[in-house]
Amino acid sequence: MKKLLTFAVLLFSFESSLFAAQNLIELAPNEVLISDFRQERHLNGFKNPIKSKGYVVLTPKKGLVWETKEPFQTRLIINDRGITQFVQGQNTLYLPTSKFPGLMKLQSVFEASLQGDWLLLEERFGVTPVYVDDKWMLSFSADNVGKDIQFKEIKITGARFVENVEIRRPNGDLDVIYFFGHKIKKSSSRLDVNGAEK
Amino acid sequence: MRKTGVSFWVIAIFIACLIIALKSTSGLPLETNILALLPKPNEEARWVQMAKELMNEKVTGHVLAIVSHSDLSKAHQAADKLSKALKDKNFINSSVENTNKLSPDLIGKILFPFRLGLLSSQDRALLHTGAVDRISENAQAQISSPLGFVSSNLIKNDPYLLFPRYLSALQDAQSKTEMINGYPFIKNKNRFYLMVGMKLEGDPFSQSFQEEFVPYFKQTAAKIMLEVSDLEIKKTGAIFYAEQTASDAQGEATLIGLISLVAILVLTFLVFRDMQPIGLSLLAISVGVLAGTAASLIFFEKIHLFSLIFGAGLMGISVDYAFHYCCQRFSPNHITSVTRLKNILRGLTLGLISSVVGFLMLAWAPFPGLRQIAIFSATGLTMSYMTVVLIFPLLDRAKSLDMGEKILMLIKFHHDFWSRPDLNIARWGGGAILLGLFIVGFTSFKAEDDIRKLQSLPDNLRNEELLIRELTGRHDATQFFLISGNTQEEVLIREEALALELERLVEKHALSGYFSVSSFVPSIKRQKENRVLARELLLGMNLKKHLENMGAHPQFGYDEHKLNYLSLEQVRDRSVFPFIDFLQLARDNQNFIHLLSLRGVNDVGALSSLADKFSKVKFVDPTQDISLILADYRIRALSLFSVACLLIFGFMSFFYGTKGAFRVMSPPLIAVVVTPFVIAAFGGIFTFFSAMALILVFALGMDYSLFCAESLKSHMNISLLANGLSALSTIFAFGMLALSEMYAVHSFGVTIFVGIVLAFGLAPIARKHQ
């Protein structure tokens, strides 16, 4: 029985690793992953959800660029230096990682989730995906990621790629982001994280 | 009479020893900073001087160590170990500076109630142009942005998101630093660089503190590096520069002094074949240097290294006196010590008076360096003179000597060059060569006063500092603005007006940025204006419209009736922005001074002229200021020297008549005028320190001329021998200075070398037609 149990554990581990490898979206050094998104922010005190849409670019190990096209042109850059936001070309927000170390963790969560790097998520945050049919779901709590970012829970679901992210805050605010139209493209200065900052 | 003189001499020596002993309880107070040679500023710039001193104190009183390792925890442990070791020895009082102990959340909570008065410069500019819609759109765009960094709690109390934009504008977008347990650190190429800022407990310019701190720091760092493989500790700070410069300079001065001394001893022994002249020379030198040092310490807190080096030139003059006395042994008749003195007394006295008159003229200059040199030299020379006149005859028991054949031949050559009619062509040839060099030098003559070229910093420390700057990304300009006022509010208002102009210059790329107190805490006036702007343009109907556009609750808004203004005291008391303490140089009653630091300065002229538009605002460019002052004082020193020459000419005319005075003074004057151009002909540059050297050339050259002029025909060989010995000893001593690493000292040495050769060579002109 003991041997059977050990075999089962080993098999599960092997299957899990295999699955992880299968889900990992391999990107060449000069490639980026682009995905369109639609966001709904359900904020306390607001009659309707605040809606926006655009696209997000993932450059592995460099960071993320969130380009919002509607209702306003904004750009949000997340890299190892921190978070920088530009509204209609003007720098409106800068949160350095030196002051907000939790931002690095948030960047890791999104980068690894978008790229399907389950091994990294498990290693860093102790989070493993739960599978239902051909879909998976990841759930992060403040205990996993750290309390210096104000959120209660982050839930990420997807199949081949990430399809949906829900961010729930302690005050009841809820952000839902839908991802679609994923594609892998050659990197360019327009899409690159460093280029986007200029 | 002689007894009284000797008693006075003994008492003077005793007092000099006492003064030096009292002032040197913790080592000789030596000043190596070249800035200390500069004059105190005039009345209206006194606050600027005070601010500079305060800033200097803040900057020089700190050291920065960078501890690096590929493992962050190992670097952290090493940093802790280093700062603990230095703290335990009471060398430093804190190891972590300028770090914000408060969390961003807490800072936000403290400042949030004042948000209507704290507008970012962007929002303020938008409000000034009436662009309320842009502010509303910016807020909506931020709210709709992905990952929702703006929560409904914030929007409820700040629907325009004015506060996050104010806070964000304060962040240094260029900073690459992160924090670990109070240490800022940077990650670069898989290594972690921890910055350990330390405030020194002692005076970084005190020699005794340097001698204790620097070796201990180096030993501790080396020990820690040995314990942990791959660990590196780099350092920077004024104390390291001061210690190494002082030690290099002392080493150089010791070497030069030693060679000078050995050369003098060998020369004396070769000529006199007796030890007594050596003893007498050393006595005259020692008494001169002792008296000069004591006199300088009475008038000044520290002796500048340059005064000591220049003062060492005294050796040339005082040895000159001793040589002239001892050379009387070669008199054709056997004479007593009193007669020996009598033979040279007139030349000796005239030489002393001319030198002292010249040096006292320099003491008039409002220039601490010049004054110190003048006091050192005048006092030292007078005491050397007194030693020769009062003490030498008492000690001298030597018999007369015959001048050897070889010595006589050498002197004869010099004598014949100027006296034999058949050597006219040689004299004209020599004159033509000198004129040629003068013309070539005249066409390529260049004066240089750039302090960066005159004072070289130790390469090893400079490299460490450059590496640290590279890592930390700190490219702060050396230039800055000083703003003063009678109240804190007045300074902040002035600073804001200046910042407005600076913003325009940033747009024109005259500079890349600046760092000021008012960007963090605006003046009350500015906060009131902001509130008025916000109330008139953002609140009321506009706020209602903004909330409707967003679909937000109509009760969202600002507690506009709370009239709270953020003060610097509140910020200071709660250590919200501890780093702005550095910018507040003075905050006493009616004396407030702020520093506005600059980054990436490209157009110094634009910044300098900007300061002229404001009262109580001063643009400070330390390097440029010093260079300008050196240039100014090079001209002033030469002007004073010219006046001194006129005075000496008047004095000499009294003894020799106008023509005679002209003849006696022409050899040193020709040497002084021609030397800079001869040096220029060989590519040398004329500096303030060359000008100072010319003064010494003149003083020594006057002695050579006077002894030639005063010498009896039968004693001419004796005078030329004494002059030759004096010139050689001076050349040996200062020829070595030309090898100095520091360009200032080098140019001093080269000028002395060329000048003394010329003054000695031309000296017989002084008696030619007598």
Q: Please give the full DSSP string across A111-124, using - where no structure is assigned.
A: HHHHHT-HHHHHHH
Whether chain A has a CB inside 8 Å of the CB on B121: the answer is no
- Answer yes or no: do A37 and B104 touch at CB < 8 A: no
Whether chain A has a CB inside 8 Å of the CB on B173: the answer is yes
Contacts of A44 in chain B (CB under 8 A): 152-153, 156
pLDDT tens, A92-109? Answer: 777 777 666 666 777 777
Contacts of A106 in chain B (CB under 8 A): 147
pLDDT of residue B112: 85
Whether chain A has a CB inside 8 Å of the CB on B165: the answer is yes
Per the CB < 8 A criterion, the answer to whether A20 and A119 are in contact is yes
pLDDT tens, A39-58? Answer: 999 988 888 898 999 998 88
CA distance B96 to chain A (A): 16
Side-chain-facing half-sphere of B117: CA atoms under 13 Å: 20
Residue B164 amino acid letter: P
d(CA B196, CA B178): 13
- Answer yes or no: do A51 and B144 touch at CB < 8 A: yes
β-strand partners of B69: B192
DSSP character at residue B686:
B
CA distance A75 to chain B (A): 8
- Answer yes or no: do B146 and A99 touch at CB < 8 A: no
d(CA B111, CA B167): 9
Side-chain-facing half-sphere of B508: CA atoms under 13 Å: 11
Q: Is the pLDDT of residue A191 over 60?
A: no
Token pair recorded at residue B578: 């501890």
d(CA A165, CA A137): 10
CA distance A80 to chain B (A): 9
User: How many residues make up chain A in this entry?
Assistant: 198
Residue B760 amino acid letter: F
Distance, C-alpha B579 to centroid of its chain: 27
The model carries a pTM of 0.65
Per the CB < 8 A criterion, the answer to whether B602 and B509 are in contact is yes
pLDDT tens, B587-636? Answer: 777 788 888 888 778 888 888 888 888 888 888 887 777 778 778 878 88
Query: Which of A41, A54, A96 lies nearest to residue B171, judging by beta carbons?
Result: A96
- Answer yes or no: do B165 and A92 touch at CB < 8 A: yes
Predicted complex ipTM exceeds 0.90:
no
B241 three-class SS: helix
Per the CB < 8 A criterion, the answer to whether B323 and B726 are in contact is yes
pLDDT of residue B477: 59
C-alpha pair distances (Å), B129 with each of B126, B168, B183, B493, B655: 5, 22, 43, 21, 83
Query: Which of A41, A93, A175 lies nearest to residue B168, judging by beta carbons?
Result: A93
Query: Which of A66, A81, A90 lies nearest to residue B122, judging by beta carbons?
Result: A90
Contacts of B176 in chain A (CB under 8 A): 81
Which residues 6+ apart lie within 8 Å of A13 measured at CB? Answer: none
d(CA B552, CA B617): 47
Chain B interface, best mutation among A48, A55, A66, A72, by max B CB count within 10 A: A72
- Answer yes or no: do A74 and B145 touch at CB < 8 A: yes
CA distance A44 to chain B (A): 6
Q: Please give the mean pLDDT across all residues of chain A.
A: 75
- Answer yes or no: do B171 and A95 touch at CB < 8 A: yes
- Answer yes or no: do A46 and B552 touch at CB < 8 A: yes
pLDDT beneath 50, residues of chain B: 96-98, 173-174, 770
CA distance B304 to chain A (A): 45
What is the SS3 string spanning B576-629?
Answer: CCHHHHHHEEEEECCEEEEEEEEECCCCHHHHHHHHCCCCCEEEECHHHHHHHH
* Ramachandran bin of A136, using left for φ above 0, alpha for ψ from -120 to 50, beta for the remaining angles: beta
Percent of chain B surpassing pLDDT 70:
89
Whether chain A has a CB inside 8 Å of the CB on B298: the answer is no
Greatest alpha-carbon pair distance for chain A in Å reads: 66
Distance, C-alpha A147 to centroid of its chain: 18
Contacts of A39 in chain B (CB under 8 A): 144, 146
Tell me the torsion sign for CA atoms B562, B565, B569, B573: positive
- Answer yes or no: do B144 and A92 touch at CB < 8 A: no
d(CA B383, CA A96): 68
- Answer yes or no: do B148 and A68 touch at CB < 8 A: no
The residue of chain B nearest to residue A85, with distances taken between CA atoms, is B142
User: Alpha helices, DSSP H only, in B89-119?
Assistant: 104-111
Q: Is the pLDDT of residue A15 over 50?
A: no
Whether chain A has a CB inside 8 Å of the CB on B104: the answer is yes
Chain A interface, best mutation among B142, B147, B149, by max A CB count within 10 A: B147
Chain A and chain B share a number of CB contacts under 8 A equal to 125
d(CA B331, CA B343): 10
Q: Which of residues 498-557 of B touch A (CB under 8 A)?
A: 550-553, 556
Token pair recorded at residue B604: 């110094």
pLDDT of residue B461: 80
Query: Which of B155, B177, B184 lies nearest to residue A43, judging by beta carbons?
Result: B155
Token pair recorded at residue B597: 């630091």
Chain B interface, best mutation among A52, A58, A93, by max B CB count within 10 A: A93
pLDDT of residue B12: 92
Angle at A141 (CA atoms; ends A136, A146), nearest 5 degrees: 130
Chain A interface, best mutation among B100, B121, B143, B144, by max A CB count within 10 A: B144
E strands within B28-180?
30-31, 62-69, 92-94, 178-180
Long-range contacts of B70-76 (CB under 8 A, 24+ apart): B70/B190, B70/B191, B70/B192, B70/B230, B71/B192, B72/B180, B72/B185, B72/B192, B74/B228, B74/B231, B75/B185, B75/B192, B75/B193, B75/B194, B75/B231, B76/B180, B76/B181, B76/B183, B76/B194
The residue of chain B nearest to residue A167, with distances taken between CA atoms, is B147
Query: Which of B144, B175, B551 lies nearest to residue A98, judging by beta carbons?
Result: B175
- Answer yes or no: do B146 and A173 touch at CB < 8 A: no
CA distance B165 to chain A (A): 6
E strands within A82-160?
82-87, 90-96, 130-132, 135-141, 153-158
Residue-wise burial string across B72-91, b where 16 or more C-beta atoms lie within 10 A, e elsewhere: eebbbbbbbbbbebbeeeeb
Percent of chain A surpassing pLDDT 70:
75
